[in-house]
Structure 1
C-alpha cells in the first residue's frame, strides 16, 4: 500500500493505478485487440461472480448504464421514476435521457439513503419504476424497496455506482432489483477511467440489453440489425484495467476501511461532528469519509487553507438549476414544496466529504484529523 508521508496538498481523490494495471493495458495493445474482446469477457465474468448474477453487460459509464437499464425495461416518454433527492445528478439525467421524468423522494437522516416511508408521496398513475441509490459506500433498505415495488407494480433500478463490494444482508448491492448499475469512474472503489456495468437476473431482459448496447444486433460483424440499438460498448483497454483492479479489490476495501476507522476514532469525541457509517444490515466500503458537521462551510474553507481538498454533499435534486421549469425540466409538484426535503437540505448544508482512497497514507488522515480537531478545539489542540 502507499507510503504514509504527509503531503502539503491532499487531493480529494487519487486513482489507485499501478504497474499491473499498466501492464494489462500494454498487453491489449500488443495483442492488437483494443475494442471489446477477450478482456471485456473476463471483466464481465468477474463482475457477475462478484455481484452473484447470471447476466451482465458493460456500458461506457455509470449514467449510460442507468439509461441502458431503463431502456431495456421499456421505460420512456410519459413514465415517471422515483429517485432519491440526494444523489449525483446523473441518476436523474439518466431518466431524462430515455424521455421519462424523475420524481424526487426525501432521504432518511442517518445515512441519507432513500426514505421508503416517504416514497408513496411521489406516486402517480405514471410511475413505472423506483431507483434506490446506494450512497456513500453503504446500502439502501432493499427489503423495503422490494415490498414497495411489489405493492405498486414498479420496476427496481438499483443505482450502485458507488457500491462495488457493498453488501446488504449478505447480498451484493445491484443484485436485488430488475437491474443493478455500476460505475468505474476514477473515484470509484475500482476504476477503468470511465465505464459501467448493468447486472440482471432475467434472460429476456439480458437479451434486450445486448441488442440495445450493440446497435440492435447480438454479434458484431453483421450488418443485419433485428432491433434498434445504440453503441454502449467499452474498450478492451478499459476492461483490462478492470480485470487488474478486481484482483486488488480485497486489499482496496481493507485499506479504505482502515482509513475510515482512523477518521472515526480520531473524531468520535467531537460533539460537533457525526461520522456517517454503515446503514442497518449493510456493510460499508467508504466512498469518502462523510461527516455531518456544524459550520461545515467554515470547516471546508479551513481545511482548504491547510492543503486539504474536500467535497460537499451532493446538491439536492429539487434545488438543482437544471431541473427547474426555466430550464424546460418541469417536474411534478409531488411531494410538494422544498420543505418536504428537510433531510436532504440538512445533509447538504452540514455534509462534508473528506479524502479517502487507496493511495492515501494513514499519516495524511491523522494530519486531517488534527486539523479538524484544531478547528473545533483551537485552545486545546496543537
Structure 2
C-alpha cells in the first residue's frame, strides 16, 4: 500500500483506533480558547492537581509529551554523559531517545515472553558500575514486576523512572504506576487512554524533582507566566540552568481535564472489548491471547500468532488489511534500529524480544468499538 493511502483509504472499514471526543470535550476546549491566558495558566494547574489526585502522587507536572517528561526526569535526577540507563528492548523508540538526549547510554534488556514487560533477570545481567537508573515500561497497560525492580534498584542504589505511556489507570497491587519509582511519565497521544492530542505528565513525590521539571519545561525560568504578571515586574525572573520549551498549554489541558473525568469508564470499556477478544479467540490453535486483570488499563490488545504452515503474523496482517481491518505491531525491537546499533549497549541476549517480535499483532481497540465491528475482526481471524 502506498504511504499516501495509509490513512485516506476507502477500503479501511475497521480503523486501528478512533479517538473519542465528546461535546463536553469540545465545550471545555472552546471555553479555554476564550480565556486571556492560553498557556502555563490555571487550567494546567487544575489538570495537574486532578491528575496527581487520580494517580496518588504528591506532584504532577504537565509537559508537551511523554518523551519530554522522560527527558526532564533524567535531567532532574542528574543522569547524563557517562551514565547508563537500563530500558526494555521492546518499547517505542522514544524511551531510548530520551536517554540519548540526556547524554546517557541506553542499555537494552530482554523482556518476559508472556507479558512483554522488561525482565528483572535481564536487568540484573545488564548492570555495570555505570548504571544509574532502571527505566521500566508498563507495556500495553500491564504493570511490570515493580517489587523485583525495586529490590534491584535498592540493592544497587539506582533511580527508577517509570514509563507509563501505556498505563494510565494501571495499578501494581494497590498503587498506581508512576508513583512506585522516583518519577512516572505519562502520554496523552491520540491513541492513549485519554488524549490532549499531544501532551504528557510527570509524576513524583519529590518536591526537588517537581520544582526542577517545572522550571526546565519553561526555559529554566523560575516563575510561572501567571506569577510574572501578577507579582511585580514581569521581566524580573531568574534562570539558573538552561531549559526547554516543553510546556503544556491551556487548550490541551482543558481537553485532558475533561477526558480524565471519564477515564475509569473508558478503561472499563477497553477491558470489556479485550475480554470479548479473549472469549472468542482463546484456545484457538496457533493463537496465544494475553492475560487480562482488573489492574490493567488495557491500552493495547496484542495476540501472538504461532508460525504454522499456512499462517504467520505477516500473512494475517495482510489478510486483515485486505478485508479492510487495520492492525499494527508494537513494537519492532530497539536493537534492530540503526541509531540504537550505534548508541545503545547490550549485555544480555535479547532472546524473547526477537521471538515475540515475529509473532505479535495488535488488534483494533477503542472504547466505542461496536460489538459487530469486533466480531468482523474476530471472524476474519478465525477463517
Per the TM superposition, whether the score is higher than 0.5 is yes
**Equivalent residue in structure 2 for 1:236, among 250, 253, 269:** 250
CA deviations on 1:132-151 (whole Å, 9 max, x unpaired) are 10001110000101000001
**5+ long unaligned stretches in structure 1:** 1-6, 375-382
Equivalent residue for 1:106?
A: 110
Q: Give the distance between the partners of 1:211 and 1:131, measured in 2 at CA.
A: 23
Contact 1:39 1:240 in 2 (8 A): yes
Contact 1:83 1:130 in 2 (8 A): yes
The yes-or-no answer on 1:179 pairing with 2:183 is yes
**Equivalent residue in structure 2 for 1:256, among 270, 273, 286:** 270
Report the Cα offset of residue 64 of structure 1.
0.8
The yes-or-no answer on 1:341 pairing with 2:353 is no
Equivalent residue for 1:378?
A: none
Name the CA shift for 1:333/1:370 in 2 (closer, same or farther; >3 Å): closer
The yes-or-no answer on 1:353 pairing with 2:362 is yes
Q: Give the distance between the partners of 2:37 and 2:373, measured in 1 at CA.
A: 40
Equivalent residue for 1:380?
A: none
The yes-or-no answer on 1:47 pairing with 2:60 is no
User: After alignment, is 190-199 or 228-237 more displaced?
Assistant: 228-237
Q: Give the distance between the partners of 1:115 and 1:89, measured in 2 at CA.
A: 18
The yes-or-no answer on 1:57 pairing with 2:70 is no
The yes-or-no answer on 1:283 pairing with 2:300 is no
**Equivalent residue in structure 2 for 1:167, among 163, 168, 171:** 171
The yes-or-no answer on 1:362 pairing with 2:371 is yes
1:1-382 superposed matches below 5 A: 9-219=13-223, 220=225, 221=228, 222-278=236-292, 283-294=295-306, 295-325=312-342, 329=343, 331-335=344-348, 340-374=349-383
SS in 2 for 1:312: coil
User: After alignment, is 96-105 or 316-325 more displaced?
Assistant: 316-325
Name the CA shift for 1:333/1:144 in 2 (closer, same or farther; >3 Å): closer
CA deviations on 1:297-345 (whole Å, 9 max, x unpaired) are 11111100111100013011111122123xxx2x33422xxxx111101
SS in 2 for 1:302: helix
Report the Cα offset of residue 250 of structure 1.
1.7
TM-score, with structure 2 as normaliser: 0.91
SS in 2 for 1:175: coil
Q: How many residues are matched? A: 358
Report the Cα offset of residue 158 of structure 1.
0.3
CA deviations on 1:97-146 (whole Å, 9 max, x unpaired) are 11100000000111010100121221111110000100011100001010
Report the Cα offset of residue 8 of structure 1.
5.7
RMSD: 1.4
Contact 1:57 1:199 in 2 (8 A): yes
Report the Cα offset of residue 40 of structure 1.
0.5
**5+ long unaligned stretches in structure 2:** 1-10, 229-235, 307-311
Report the Cα offset of residue 46 of structure 1.
0.9
TM-score, with structure 1 as normaliser: 0.91
Runs of 4+ more than 4 Å apart: none
Q: Give the distance between the partners of 1:275 and 1:231, measured in 2 at CA.
A: 42
SS in 1 for 2:20: coil
